[in-house]
C-alpha cells in the first residue's frame, strides 16, 4: 500500500516520539502514529498547565478534590495517571479506598472519606468516592435501601459544606458503552500483566448493566447540582477522554494562569 505523506508529517514521524508511536503496535500504522504524536503534544501542554494549577494551589494554601466515578474499565485509573504523572507528588494523593472495615461500617458513611480530605496546598484524587453508595453498593446489595436513601438525602448538603469550607470540588464521570466495556474486559483477561485488575464485581458488570444504568441516572438526577455539577466524559476513546478530563479540571478551578512555573 502506497502512503503519501506531507513533509510536515515526515518531520513528525522522524523524531523520538514518532519512532515510539510507530513501534507501539503491530502492524505499523502511520495514521495512528500521527494521531498518537498529536495526542502526546496536547497532553504534555495540558500537563504543564496542571503544574501551573498545582503551583497556584501550593502558594495559596488551596485545597482541591477531584472525584472520578464511572463504569468498571471506563479508564478512571488511566485518566488519573495522566493527570498526576507530571505534578509534584509531595502535594497530591490518589485515594482508592478498600471495602470498609467493621469499625468504619459503624461510623457515619462519609467519615472515612472526610479523613482523606486535602490539607492546605494539596490535591486529592478519589478513584471512586462516596458515590459508591449511589450506584455500586445498591446494585450489588452492599447497602440497604434505607442506607441508600439516607445517602441520597445527605450528599448534596455534604458537598455544599465541602464547598463552603473553601475546598474546590470537581466531579467527573467516565462513561463507556456496553460493547466497549466487554472489549476491555476481554483485553484484561487475556493480558497476564492486567489480569489482577479483574474483580468479582467486574465479572458481573455486563449482566448488571441495566441496573447500573438505572442507579446512575438517579444519581445524576439528584446530585447534578448547580454548585456541584457532574461532568460526563465520553471515554470509549481513551486518548480523547484523558484530554477532556484535564481540560475540564483546568476549566473548573479558578487558578492564576499567569503564575510562573
C-beta of residue 174 within 8 angstroms of C-beta of residue 181: no
Q: From residue 5, how far is each of 39, 66, 209 by CA, in Å?
A: 19, 41, 44
pLDDT tens readout for residues 120-147 = 999 999 999 999 999 999 999 999 999 9
Give percent above pLDDT 70 in the chain: 89
Q: What number of other Cβ atoms are within 10 A of residue 246's Cβ?
A: 21
Residues in the chain: 261
3-state secondary structure (DSSP) of residue 65: strand
Q: Where are the domains of the chain?
A: 61-252
What pLDDT score does 35 carry? 87
- With CA atoms as reference, report the closest residue to 233 among 1, 30, 70: 70
What pLDDT score does 1 carry? 44
Which residues are within 8 A (CB) of 92 and not within 5 positions of it... i.e. 6 or more apart? 54, 84, 122, 123, 124, 125
Band (9; pLDDT cuts 50, 70, 90): low
Q: Which residues pair with 64 in a beta bridge?
A: 123, 168
Does the pLDDT value for residue 28 go beyond 60?
Answer: no
The answer to whether domain 61-252 has CATH 3.30.930.10 is no
Q: pLDDT: is 21 or 231 the higher one?
A: 231
N- to C-terminal Cα separation, the chain = 47
Does the pLDDT value for residue 119 go beyond 50?
Answer: yes
Which residues are within 8 A (CB) of 43 and not within 5 positions of it... i.e. 6 or more apart? 82, 239, 242, 243, 246
Q: What is the dihedral of CA 3, 236, 66, 140, to 10 degrees?
A: -160
Angle made by CA atoms 245, 250, 255, in degrees to the nearest 5 = 160
- Return d(Cα 223, Cα 4) in angstroms, integer: 51
pLDDT tens readout for residues 61-117 = 999 999 999 999 999 999 999 999 999 999 999 999 999 999 999 999 999 999 999
pLDDT tens readout for residues 238-248 = 999 999 999 99
Does the pLDDT value for residue 20 go beyond 60?
Answer: no
Amino acid at each position: 500500500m502506497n502512503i503519501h505523506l506531507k513533509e510536515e508529517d515526515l518531520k513528525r514521524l522522524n523524531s523520538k516520539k514518532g519512532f515510539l508511536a510507530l513501534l507501539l503496535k503491530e502492524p505499523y500504522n502511520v495514521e495512528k502514529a500521527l494521531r498518537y504524536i498529536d495526542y502526546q503534544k496536547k497532553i504534555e501542554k495540558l500537563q504543564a498547565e496542571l503544574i501551573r494549577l498545582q503551583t497556584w494551589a501550593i502558594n495559596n494554601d488551596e485545597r482541591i478534590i477531584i472525584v472520578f466515578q464511572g463504569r468498571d474499565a471506563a479508564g478512571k485509573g488511566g485518566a488519573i495517571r495522566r493527570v498526576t504523572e507530571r505534578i509534584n507528588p509531595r502535594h497530591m494523593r490518589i485515594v482508592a479506598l478498600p471495602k470498609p472495615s467493621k469499625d468504619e461500617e459503624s461510623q457515619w458513611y462519609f467519615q472515612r472519606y472526610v479523613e482523606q480530605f486535602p490539607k492546605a496546598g494539596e490535591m486529592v484524587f478519589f478513584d471512586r468516592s462516596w458515590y459508591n453508595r449511589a450506584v455500586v453498593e445498591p446494585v450489588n446489595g452492599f447497602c440497604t435501601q434505607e442506607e441508600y436513601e439516607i445517602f441520597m438525602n445527605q450528599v448534596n448538603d455534604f458537598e455544599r459544606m465541602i464547598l463552603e469550607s473553601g475546598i474546590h470540588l470537581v466531579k467527573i464521570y467516565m462513561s463507556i458503552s456496553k460493547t466497549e466495556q466487554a472489549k476491555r474486559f476481554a483485553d484484561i483477561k487475556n493480558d497476564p500483566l492486567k489480569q489482577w485488575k479483574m474483580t468479582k464485581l467486574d465479572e458481573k458488570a455486563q449482566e448488571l448493566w441495566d441496573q447500573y444504568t438505572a442507579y446512575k441516572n438517579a444519581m445524576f438526577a439528584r446530585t447534578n447540582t448547580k454548585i456541584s455539577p457532574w461532568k460526563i466524559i465520553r471515554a470509549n476513546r481513551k486518548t480523547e477522554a484523558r484530554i477532556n478530563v484535564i481540560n475540564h479540571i483546568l476549566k473548573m478551578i479558578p487558578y492564576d494562569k499567569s503564575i510562573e512555573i
